[in-house]
Amino acid sequence: MLIDTISTTSCKLTATSAEELLSRQEVYLELFNSDDFSKDIFRTATPIPGELINIMVRVNLLRAELIISTRQISYTNSITTIFDCLDSVDLEGLTSKALSTINTSKRPEPPETDTEKRYILDKLHADSKNAWRALITAYHSAITIYAINNLAGFGSSTQRLKNLETATSSPSISLLLLSKETIAYEALVDSITLIFHQREEYNRLSLAAAISPDDLQGISAGVLHKFMIWPMVIAGIQASLVKLEDTMVHSISENMQAVGRELGTFGMIDGSYFVKNLRPTRGDEHISSQTWDDLFVGRPIFFM
């Protein structure tokens, strides 16, 4: 369910596939809203808070509605619901929940005489809260951008605003969404920067003190980059087609390549090439007519 929800964001929808998506994702939404369903997925292979996956499902449903609809109607209610949910997310609360979930076993203590190892492990434990906050913020910000780009598409600022006004029937809501998009992008870039800085520091420190896997129980600082493929691709799309930041596109692509080689994951490498090849030349004329679905024509589903 989780992988299907994330993968759905990166496949081109047709009228037929959108109908199938609606029926499937509505079931997911019912499950996530059920009191009997466990939303504690921090222990899973993709430890993303259930609250955020719930919102991602809602955006997928809105996207399907946009594809299926053959008439001009306002999507204000759906959009308002999505952003009310995003605004209500307690990022600090989810960070604390993640930390409490992974810190269930007693941490092994190095000998008191090994002051270097004790210092490094203390630092990595302290940095774990920042790591989880950055990961959760990255997904929250990426979902915000994903939702807005489904409505705004890609092109000039004027065209994107016009597309939003058509979808929302409200100039004020459209301007608010563009403001939220800017804030979300900055938070997403900051989160990616922090997580990859922690990865470099983790590699350096663990080699310096000969730290073993047993020493790293309950430590997240320096290891959460492997869960960042989806937010990084969203950041790459935004950097390439909206912000026009070639340096950021290059940085994201290089980091994804490095992690793909480190973990042996084709998904991260495919994502790197996807980001790198989004807009090969600055004056690409067809960008003004692109929608979210246009990005994935003939592309593999690589978000695993």
- Domain extent listing, the chain: 2-296
Spell out, as residue ranges, where the chain has pLDDT lower than 70.
34-46, 70-77, 103-114, 208-214, 280-289, 299-304
Residue 304: predicted pLDDT: 47
Q: At what angle do helices 76-88 and 50-68 cross, to 10 degrees?
A: 170
Q: Answer for the pair 231, 137: CB distance below 8 angstroms, yes or no.
A: no
Q: How far apart are CA 96 and CA 116, in angstroms?
A: 28
Residue 35 in tokens: 């009191």
Q: CA of 66: how far to CAs of 146, 167, 241, in Å?
A: 14, 9, 21
User: What is the rounded distance in angstroms from the CA atom of residue 91 to the CA atom of residue 101?
Assistant: 15
The DSSP annotation for 24-78 comes to HHHHHHHHHH-TTS----TTSSS---HHHHHHHHHHHHHHHHHHH--S----HHH
In the prediction, which pLDDT does 152 show? Answer: 93
Separation of CA 208 from chain center: 32
Sign of CA dihedral 165, 169, 175, 181: negative
Q: Is 220 helix (H, G, I), strand (E, B) or coil?
A: coil
pLDDT digits (tens, 9 = 90+) for 4-16: 888 889 888 888 8
Position 20 scores a pLDDT of: 87
Least Cα distance to 50 among 10, 97, 104, 99 occurs for 97
